[in-house]
Structure 1
Amino acid sequence: MELAYALLETLPQASVLYHPLIDQQGRLTDFTTRYANQALQAISPGTDPQGHTQTLFQRHPFTRQHLDSFNALLVSRQAFRLDYEAPHRSLGYALSFHYVEGDMLCRYDDIADQKPAQGLNHPTVDLVKALQATNQQLRQQQGLLEGILNGSQNGLLSCAPTYNEMDQIVDLRIELVNPAASLINGLASEQLVGKTLLTAFPALADSALMAAYLHTAQTGQLQRLEAHYQDDNLTGWFEVIASPLPQQRVLISFLDITDRHQAEAAHLHQAGLMQRISESGHIGIMTHKPIWDQTGHIHDFAFTYVNEQAQRWLNVDLGQVTRQSVRFLAAGDDKEELVRQMARVVQTGASARRELTLADGRVLFLVISPLETGCVTTFMDVTQQRQVEQQKRYNAELEQQVVERTLALQTSLARLEQSKADLQGALAKEKQLSELKGRFVAMASHEFRTPLTTVLSSASLLEMYEGSQQSDKRQKHIQRIRLAVKQLNSILEEFLSSDKLTEGLVRVRPVLCEVPRLVEEVLVDLADSLKAQQTIQLSLSCPQPVWVDESLLRKILLNLLSNAIKYSGPGSVIILEGDSKGHLLSLTVSDQGIGISAEDQLRLFERFFRARNATNISGTGLGLHIVGQYVALMNGQIRLESELHQGTRITLSLPLAKSGQEP
């Protein structure tokens, strides 16, 4: 049992081994103390670790319900926990109860340490085979050892010494491993049992830890230390206790305290950082703790710390501030929102930022962050920065206004330039119209004068001819009057057509047209215009009616054929060719007239333009212009080929409509 008691002494937690008391009816009535370790003194001063003066129910005010739980533990062997407040300390404990070979182990865990206990329900290390040759007491001791090992959240290694040739202890061989040790170092017990420490953990060579283990084995003195260990499987800070066991054996107890070290380091870092920030002299720092009302809501915040910079900015001292609250110190309507924002930081853990304007007009930029159960406010005087930003915004607004006004000026200049261009265009058009007007007046005075003179002279001569003997002469002058009237009608028709085209009043209206019939009608209209011995030869291949605007086509043919007659001499031949293939009507008018120069051909389709070699021949200069406009309306094409004194050839290509639709 001494080895089991030694194991209990290595545990950092207060632990007591109890033996059950059974009455004559076989009922559990209480537990006697078999052994209590030294750590129990911190919780229950005056405890006799070797005596059995106190039973479990004498040490703790348990009830019948607890007795039923203890009885269930002895039957089911399932561990359980109870909360307990030590009578001589302000801290609370959780009591863990474990079954140990018919006995019960009670361990006291500090509730302040929230790290869950390890190894409560892990399988026990199978040491029965290694101790089969021992007596019943050794087997009971082995069971107690396994129960204590399994009930510990510390990693435990029981090691035996190994010697060199000079009978010196140079290493320790692992004999026993508890489940917590396997969880901490990540190695199963079968990977450790039988190996030496330096074999299982090579990083221990020449370390302070290994020196402490060997010192305990050699001198029997208990060693406690904190050390950092690192290898491929295990890295961190550990709290280590090396306890002596019989026959120079050593029980090594270790606990991973890396989280605690990191928390302490973080706390020290935060404290140092806060101190450095506080001493920087550029940032005001205030810490606050919440003030709760009766309904459990945060009503206000008390000041717990204000650094020197904050005191200078607020013009207060630490003693004055710590006797006031945020709601009392803050001014204006901002204080309500400030308190609400600080409460949200405490409740959500999320930092917040805001600006606060003081009564004297200064502007503070605040960052409110959570700090333990309260919050910390860091702030800077940003009045100068805000003034600079306001000046920058003002300058930016001025620059924007300059840009906008510059753009407006540029737009106005562009509009002036456009107005100037429009005015110049209008002047050019006015000049062109003036020129057209002059040309029109000259042309009209000339063209109208000739037929009117003919009408007047022929009418006067008709009055002189009487009787049947002069009927031929009378008929001649009547014919001249008829031709003059036709000429005037043609001129007026051209003027009207040009005016309608200019105003966009002409529309294409296809009808089913027989081209040979239309040509014959045109030739009848032109019969009186033919000069002596002039002939018009036809070569038409349009057997089927086609969909085309008959009115526009008639005017086109009349214009082209009358031009051919007018600009060709007596006895000349005019040829009209035509065919319709697919959806295209082709017409060609060829003459043997005076022809047109290449230079004049470039302007031939302009309104009122006349070739230079046609000035002595009557005409308005509108005929080919109108023909070109009609062809364009019908989506057709016109091609002119001419050479001076060799005649002219004009070819039309007109797309045919389908079922009366526009081409």
Structure 2
Amino acid sequence: MIQANTEQVLITEQFNAQPDAVVWFRPVFPDGRKDGPVIDFEVEYCNNKAAEMLATTVASVKGARLLRTPLLDPNTRERIFQQCLQVMHTGNSIEFNYRNPARDRYYNVQRSLIAGGILNVTRDRTDEVHAEIDRKEREEYFRQILDSAADSILVLESIRDAGGTITDFQIAHCNRKCYEIARFPPDVIGRTLLEALPHLLDSDQLEWHKEVADTGKSMRFETSFRDDSGREYGWFIVSLTRLRDGVISTFVDVTDRRQAERRIEEQKFLLDNIFASALSGMFAAKAVRDHEEHIIDFLIQKINPAFTRLVGQTEAQVIGHLS
């Protein structure tokens, strides 16, 4: 008897030390007959945390009938009663999360069939839920910032083998501009870099990504991209910077600039050929001005072969001299 009482005290103290609310319901049968339907549940045990959640004392909770207790509103009493009946009839535990709007608290509840009754364990998850809500809000805040950026931003996390060598990168984030420029599919997040861009396998660019992740030394280069068919398009400046065990890649579309430079080069090539093949002597000179901005002479900068034959002097003798 003494041992039984000692064990009961130990169990009670153990439950009271728990951060969770613990209540054990004894089923109530009509006329005390256990072969009849369950008509209610009575609190046989309640720890301190459960009484605290109900804003009352353990003595006020113990012995209370579920369907008649003033500690709960009618809807809550009926809902808990039906859940306990379900556990009694099926023998299967149930677990769920819910928010108590009256107290603005979030809870996780488990109900299990224990020793012929229903053991109810309720954990207050409010701090955890608020932390998760804050985390999601911060993620959304930074996502909006990244999406509003004019540059494309791609966040990559290193994938390493057992020896610690980087074999690939997992795409962790891709902003709106990155989707547009890199022509990524909507489900690219979570895929690997080589799955999204298979042409990078064995490429210098992949090695540069690995080097940045391993050494922390940033890198910048210009490159074209490829579409799904492998065709090159555009021209981009790519900047790589280490971010934790990974790389943040930002790239800017400089296609228009490169095309303009190419047009200038083509025009220069065309003019150089016209200049060189002309039968007439031609030269280009820069005006030389005095302090009052009056032109006083010309500095010869370029001559064609016909001009050298005409004046009987070489380029070295003419270019850089005043006319």
Q: Report the TM-score range of the alignment, normalised by the length of the smaller protein.
A: 0.3 to 0.5
Q: Which has the higher helix share?
A: 1
Q: Which has the higher strand share?
A: 2
Choose between structure 1 and 2 for higher RCO, CA contacts under 8 A separated by at least 6 residues: 2
